[in-house]
């Protein structure tokens, strides 16, 4: 097995996540050497116990890996590792990015312009309507909507995006071939056809409770910011908001009924500095994006007719038709890395810049 295959094989060990795989690679030098390591050497790695060692032994000969790859092919599921061109660039910049992603559907370069919308499973009628509205407005403005396909707010966020013809990504706490909750079977099909179902878990993984906090870091990691709609004080949505802050993402909150326990989490976020959201305008203002074009207008207008923010104009002026890295643009413009990333995402969704497989960008059009 090559390094990529060894990475996928180790990821099939359910007790190894991004942090433990990083520790194994750091200790042994590669995923391949970790997979072939002796039992006593593996046990010296922090977080690796006898159960994990036994499971590593079970995937060592490659038989289970071959079965996994064949099953993925049959299901139309792509498997990408951090070294593959199709791995989401934004996710590479978080602590311990998932070493492997299973993707049912397609992640496009334009999905880098994404907003997460998350919240309570047992949402009120107001909360469900608010999630649908915010997600629909954001999708119409060109954002991809990221959520977790859970009952309540998450499901309404996906539906809001789909209803407006937008794209949406569901990050799951189970395998992409396992529909959870089961009543979302039709929704899962629609998401895969207009975005992607994504999971770091191997095929067939059941929706165990311990999987969901970890998947929340992927929801925030894929996004420019996280919008929380209804959350109790101990809600999982607040875990996503915490990850967002740690990852340098913006946090937004929709205010709710002051009499409802489901408003306590969102109101606390607002008190702690989250941007209060009443509509897409609040999100665009906080991100510094002005008058974004809707997805269907891609390529339909010249640069001169698009109203770009000052930051976007500055980044575009720094680009020509030769590929440049994000670091090059930071040096040329004097903007911070996050400001450059936001500007590039806005320019890319308008079709004004093109991204190469190695992450470099260049102008995509003459003029302007």
CA 358 to chain centre: 19
Statement to judge: residues 45 and 138 lie in one domain: no
Domain count for the chain:
3
20-24 mean pLDDT: 86
> According to the model, what pLDDT value does residue 321 have?
73
Statement to judge: residues 180 and 302 lie in one domain: no
Please state, in angstroms and as integers, the Cα–Cα distance from residue 160 to each residue in 21, 156, 173, 241, following that order. 36, 6, 21, 21
Looking at residue 331, which CATH number applies to its domain?
1.10.10.10
Q: Can you give the residue range of the structural domain that contains 44?
A: 3-64
Residue 358 lies in a domain: yes
How far apart are the C-alpha atoms of 327 and 337, rounded to whole Å?
8
Statement to judge: residues 150 and 220 lie in one domain: yes
Whether residue 368 has pLDDT greater than 60: no
> According to the model, what pLDDT value does residue 301 have?
34
Which position has the higher pLDDT, 62 or 348? Answer: 62
How far apart are the C-alpha atoms of 168 and 219, rounded to whole Å?
12
Statement to judge: residues 148 and 57 lie in one domain: no
Question: Token digits for 188?
Answer: 């899962």
Query: pLDDT tens across 76-92, in order?
Result: 999 999 999 889 989 99
The reply to whether omega before 181 is within 30° of 0 (cis) is: yes
Which helix (H) or strand (E) segment holds residue 229: the answer is: strand 225-229
How far apart are the C-alpha atoms of 49 and 26, rounded to whole Å?
17
Give me the chain's average pLDDT, please. 89
- Single residue among 264, 287, 310 that ends a domain in this structure: 287
45-53 mean pLDDT: 92
pLDDT classification of 362: cutoffs 50, 70, 90: confident
Statement to judge: residues 233 and 341 lie in one domain: no
> According to the model, what pLDDT value does residue 59 have?
96
Whether residue 63 has pLDDT greater than 70: yes
> According to the model, what pLDDT value does residue 2 have?
94
Statement to judge: residues 333 and 268 lie in one domain: no
pTM value?
0.81
Statement to judge: residues 60 and 109 lie in one domain: no
Whether residue 196 has pLDDT greater than 90: yes
């Amino acid at each position: 097995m090559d390094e990529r295959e060894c990475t996928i094989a180790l990821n099939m060990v359910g007790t190894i996540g991004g942090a433990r795989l990083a520790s194994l690679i750091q200790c042994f030098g590669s995923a391949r050497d970790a997979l072939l390591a002796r039992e006593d050497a593996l046990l010296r790695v922090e977080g690796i116990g006898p159960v994990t060692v036994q499971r590593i032994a079970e995937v060592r000969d490659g038989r289970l890996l071959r079965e996994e790859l064949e099953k993925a092919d049959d299901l139309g599921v792509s498997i990408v590792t951090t070294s593959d061109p199709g791995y989401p660039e934004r996710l590479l910049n978080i602590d311990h990015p998932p070493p492997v992603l299973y993707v049912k559907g397609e992640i496009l370069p334009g999905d880098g312009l994404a907003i997460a919308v998350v919240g309570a499973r047992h949402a009120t009628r107001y909360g469900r309507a608010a999630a649908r509205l915010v997600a629909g407005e954001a999708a119409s403005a060109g954002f991809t909507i990221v959520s977790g396909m859970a009952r309540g707010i998450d499901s309404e966020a996906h539906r809001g995006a789909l209803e407006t013809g937008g794209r949406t990504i569901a990050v799951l706490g189970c395998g992409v071939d396992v529909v959870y909750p089961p009543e979302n079977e039709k929704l899962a099909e629609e998401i895969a056809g207009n975005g992607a179902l994504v999971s770091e878990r191997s095929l067939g993984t059941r929706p165990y409770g311990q999987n969901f906090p970890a998947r929340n870091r992927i929801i925030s990691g894929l996004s420019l910011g996280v919008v929380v709609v209804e959350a109790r004080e101990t809600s999982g949505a607040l875990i996503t908001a915490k990850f967002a802050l740690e990852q340098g993402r913006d946090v937004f909150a929709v205010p709710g009924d002051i009499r409802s326990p489901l408003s306590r989490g969102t109101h606390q976020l607002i008190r702690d500095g989250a941007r209060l959201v009443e509509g897409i305008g609040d999100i665009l203002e906080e991100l510094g994006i002005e008058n974004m074009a809707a997805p269907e207008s891609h390529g339909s207008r010249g640069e001169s007719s698009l109203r770009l923010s000052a930051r976007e104009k500055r980044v575009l002026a720094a680009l020509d038709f030769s590929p440049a890295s994000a670091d090059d643009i930071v040096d040329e413009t004097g903007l911070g890395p996050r400001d450059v990333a936001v500007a590039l995402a806005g320019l890319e969704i308008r079709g004004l810049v093109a991204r190469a497989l190695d992450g470099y960008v260049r102008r995509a059009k003459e003029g302007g």
